């Protein structure tokens, strides 16, 4: 059936990580959501989307980020490491997602925590990581990956609540 809403509801394309998928999204007015990629790759895809869509850089495009907030950076990093290692190996590696982490020419891997490729730590640390991310890429959308079912429920709920009530208000007017 045709959508009742006109224009149709917003459409999002998760895991858009190739030039072909970004071009298609930009041409069709679909919001592309990039998985974590090397910062050079991310920037190139943001610029490509802007060029094809004729929109300002960052408009119509977003990123997926791991979000884990705890009482200490060490606790958050331990939760993230244990769960991202499992999820990465079991859910994403079979599709080749880690290939996008490498520098396009040197193969060097970035530090996820200092580049904003993951938002992991205390409220203040995650806030700084978001600032770094948004200075580097003016993403219109941030999709938070929270490892539901992998992180103990109480810790997960606290992490989500702190992201929503303590981090996000610093970025939304």
Q: What is the pLDDT of residues 93-114, one digit of tens each?
A: 888 888 899 999 999 999 999 9
The whole-angstrom distance between residue 136's C-alpha and the CA centroid of its chain comes to 13
The per-residue pLDDT for range 129-170, each reduced to its tens digit, is 999 999 999 999 999 998 777 899 999 999 999 999 999 999
Computed over every residue of the chain, the mean pLDDT equals: 93
Would you give the DSSP letter of residue 110? P
Q: Contact at 8 Å (CB) between 163 and 170?
A: no
Q: What pLDDT score was predicted for residue 173?
A: 66
Q: Contact at 8 Å (CB) between 64 and 143?
A: yes
**For 116-120, what is the mean pLDDT?**
95
Q: Contact at 8 Å (CB) between 110 and 38?
A: yes
**For 79-84, what is the mean pLDDT?**
88
Q: Is 63 helix (H, G, I), strand (E, B) or coil?
A: strand
- Per the DSSP assignment, residues forming a β-bridge with 62 are 33, 141
Q: What pLDDT score was predicted for residue 96?
A: 82
Q: What pLDDT score was predicted for residue 124?
A: 98
Q: What pLDDT score was predicted for residue 50?
A: 98
Task: Kindly report the length of the chain.
Answer: 173
């Amino acid at each position: 059936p045709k959508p009742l809403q006109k224009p149709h509801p917003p459409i999002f394309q998760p895991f858009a990580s190739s030039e072909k998928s970004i071009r298609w999204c930009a041409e069709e007015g679909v919001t592309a959501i990039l998985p974590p990629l090397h910062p050079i790759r991310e920037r190139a895809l943001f610029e490509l989307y802007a060029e094809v869509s004729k929109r300002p850089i960052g408009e119509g495009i977003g990123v997926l980020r791991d979000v884990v907030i705890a009482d200490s950076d060490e606790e958050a990093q331990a939760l993230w490491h244990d769960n991202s290692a499992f999820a990465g190996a079991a859910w994403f590696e079979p599709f080749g997602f880690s290939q996008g982490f490498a520098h396009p020419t040197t193969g060097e891997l970035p530090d996820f925590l200092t580049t904003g490729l993951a938002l992991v730590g205390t409220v203040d640390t995650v806030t700084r990581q978001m600032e770094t991310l948004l200075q580097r890429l003016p993403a219109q959308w941030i999709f938070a990956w929270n490892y539901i079912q992998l992180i103990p429920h109480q810790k997960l709920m606290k992490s989500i609540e702190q992201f929503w009530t303590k981090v996000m208000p610093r970025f939304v007017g």
